[in-house]
Amino acid sequence: MVAIELLEERVTELEKRIYGSSVPLIDDPLPQNSIVDNLLHINTLISSSLSGQEKACALVKRLPELNELLDLSYDDDDELYTEAKFEIIMAMKQELQKNLELLNKMNELMPVLEIDRIKNVPELTPKLEHLTVNYLQAYENSSEVNRSIYEVFSKYNNIMDTISKLMLSLDATITAAEIAAVPKKQLD
């Protein structure tokens, strides 16, 4: 008897949720289609639609079994399940060992990231920005100095090239003058 009352309470609660929050009184007429009537109608429709479908009927009959197998707490074949887990772990052994090595290396290097200098980065950001601006200005100044040094060396190279050409020309002229100044031997 208690189960029937519990079921009626649940149906009444569903009807309240579907038809509204107003609590129906005992004297109030029932809605045209109560939830129980709707459930019976749906059950009739499903049964009639499955009457000619053998595969669908077999599926509906096996739904409880499928639900049981899909349940995470299903322990029917625990040994097989454990063996399957073992095979999966053995297949992934190398990858798991590599991940373990990487994790150990990361744990070894973690203290490097926990030093106070890295923790103070947000506080030191304005100083870093100021230093960056100073560096850019120094870079621009050094670029200008490099350009002016390049121009000076270029002029120096032009002057040295001109002097070298003049020296070669002067050497050729002196050599020609020396050859001309040498007395000619007369042939007898």
Q: Distance between CA atoms of 51 and 5, rounded to whole angstroms?
A: 33
- Residue 64 is which amino acid? P
Using alpha carbons only, how large is the chain's radius of gyration in Å?
A: 50
Q: What is the pLDDT of residues 135-166, one digit of tens each?
A: 999 999 999 999 999 999 999 999 999 999 99
Number of Cβ within a 10 Å radius of residue 60: 13
Q: What is the pLDDT of residues 77-97, one digit of tens each?
A: 566 677 778 888 888 889 989
